[in-house]
Amino acid sequence: MKVLGIESSCDETAAAVVEDGRTVLSDVVSSQVEEHKIYGGVVPEIASRRHTEAICGVVQKALADAGCTFTDIDAIAVTYAPGLIGALLVGVNYAKGVALSTGIPLVPVHHLRGHIAANYVCSPELEPPFLALVVSGGHTHLVNVTGYTTFEVLGKTRDDAAGESLDKVARTLGLPYPGGLNLDKIAADGDPNAYRFPHPHVTGSEYDFSFSGLKTFAVNLVHNAEQKGETVDTADLGASYLKAVTDILVGHTISAAKATGAKKIVLAGGVSANSVLRRRMNEECEKRHISLYMPLLRYCGDNAVMIASQGYYEYLNGKRADLTLNAAATMPIEEN
Ligand code: KG4
Ligand code: ZN
C-alpha cells in the first residue's frame, strides 16, 4: 500500500511516498532555514507563505521520484497537529483538495506520532511496545508506545522543550539559527565539566521535565560575565549546557525504562540528532542490555516520510478524515 505523506507544521515543506509504512519510495524536503536565519528563528507568517509557494512542486516531485501518479496512491497522510497553525493549514488544505479531486482517502497524522514512526523506516524490525523519548523544538515527551496508534504519556516538559532551550542558549552565545544544531557542533571542542548547572526536579512527577530554569541559569551566566567584562568560553559553556540537558533526558528515560521494564528505547524528534544525546543514551542502554533505536540523521528533523509511515498505521487502524478536517496548534499525542 502506497501512502503519500505531507508535512508543513513548521519550516519544512515536505512530501514523500512510503510503501507499507516501511519502504521509502521518495522523500522531498524543501527547507526554509536560510530565510528564517536572518530573524534568528521561524517567523510564522513567512513560513505559511513559503509553504503555499512550495507545496505543489514538492508533492509533484515526491510522486515523480517514486515513479507514481495520484492514481497509484492509496492514502494521503497529512500532519494536522501540533504546530504553527498557519503552516499546518497549508498542508491540510492541499491534502483536502487532492482528496476531493481524486477520491483518495485522507488520513490525519499527529506530528509527534510521525517523529516516532521515523524509526519504523530506519529499523524495519522495530515494533511496539517500546519507550520513546520525543525531543523536538516544541515538545519533550516520554511516551510508552503500547501499539502503533496507542500512546501513554509518562512525562513531559512543564515549560520549555529541550530543543527550545538549546536554541535559546545557542542564540545567547551568538550562534546562528538553528541553534541546537550549531550548539552541537561547537560543543564538540568544549569541556562538558567546565561549568556546573543545577539539576532541576519537578515535584510530584518523576518523569516530567523542566528546562526553563536551566536555560535562564545559562543565559544569566553569559550576561553576568558580559557585565563584568569577562568572556565565556562558548565551546565550554555549550558543552556543559548540553551535558546538563542530556543528563536529564537520559536519566528520566532510563528511570522510566527500569520502572516499566522496557527493553526497547526509541529516540525521536529534531534533538535526537544530537551527538551527545545519541552517545550517552547508547552507553546507558548498552550497560542495561536495552535495545536502542534512533532515526538516521535525515529523519530526525521534520520530513514527510515519517508522516507517511505513521499514516499507514493510522489507516490500518481505520482513521480517516473528511473534508471538514481542520488543523490544531496543540493536541495531546494520546488523542485519537
Ligand atoms: O523535530 P524538529 O525538526 O521540529 C519540531 O517539530 O520542533 O526539531 C527542531 C529542534 C530545534 O530546536 C533544533 O535546534 C533541534 O531540533 N536540533 C538539534 C540538533 N539538530 C536539530 N538539537 C541538538 N542537536 C542537534 N544536532
Ligand atoms: Zn518536528
Closest ligand (CA of 137): 1
Residue holding cell 535559546?
A: 168
Ligand 2 centroid–CA 232 distance in Å is: 31
* Nearest protein Cα to ligand 1, atom 13: 180
* pLDDT for 336: 74
* Protein residues whose CB sits closer than 6 Å to any atom of ligand 1: 10, 136-138, 163, 166-167, 178-181, 184, 269-271, 273-274, 301-302
Q: Is the peptide bond before 82 cis (omega within 30 degrees of 0)?
A: yes
Residues with CB under 5 Å of ion ligand 2 are: 136, 302
User: What is the CATH number assigned to the segment(s) 2-116+300-316?
Assistant: 3.30.420.40
Q: Listing from the earlier edge strand, what are the strands of the sheet with 130-135?
A: 150-156, 140-147, 130-135, 264-268, 291-293
Taking only Cα atoms into account, the Rg of the chain, rounded to an integer number of angstroms, comes to 20
Interval 22-40: pLDDT, tens: 999 999 999 999 999 999 8
Angle at 35 between CA 34 and CA 36, to 5 degrees: 95
Contact 90, 52 (CB under 8 A): yes
Residues with Cβ within 8 Å of 41's Cβ and at least 6 positions away in sequence, in order, are 167, 171, 177
| Spans of the chain, pLDDT less than 70 | none
Ligand 1 pocket test, candidate residues 12, 110, 135, 136, most atoms within 8 A of CB: 136
Q: Which atom of ligand 1 is nearest to the CA of 275?
A: 26
Residue intervals of the chain classified under CATH 3.30.420.40 are 2-116+300-316, 128-295
* pLDDT for 204: 87
* pLDDT for 32: 94
* Nearest protein Cα to ligand 1, atom 14: 180
Query: Per-residue DSSP letters for 141-184?
Result: EEEEEEETTEEEEEEEBSSS-HHHHHHHHHHHTTPPSSHHHHHH
* pLDDT for 227: 96
Q: Which atom of ligand 1 is nearest to the CA of 178?
A: 14
Ligand 2 centroid–CA 194 distance in Å is: 31
**Taking the chain, what is the end-to-end CA distance rounded to the nearest angstrom?**
22
- Residue 224 Cα distances to 199, 216, 220, 221, angstroms: 20, 12, 6, 5
Do the strands 140-147 and 150-156 form a parallel or antiparallel pair, or are they unpaired? Answer: antiparallel
Interval 246-294: pLDDT, tens: 999 999 999 999 999 999 999 999 999 999 999 999 999 999 999 999 9
Q: How many CB atoms neighbour CB 244 within 10 A?
A: 23
For domain 128-295, the CATH superfamily is: ATPase, nucleotide binding domain (3.30.420.40)
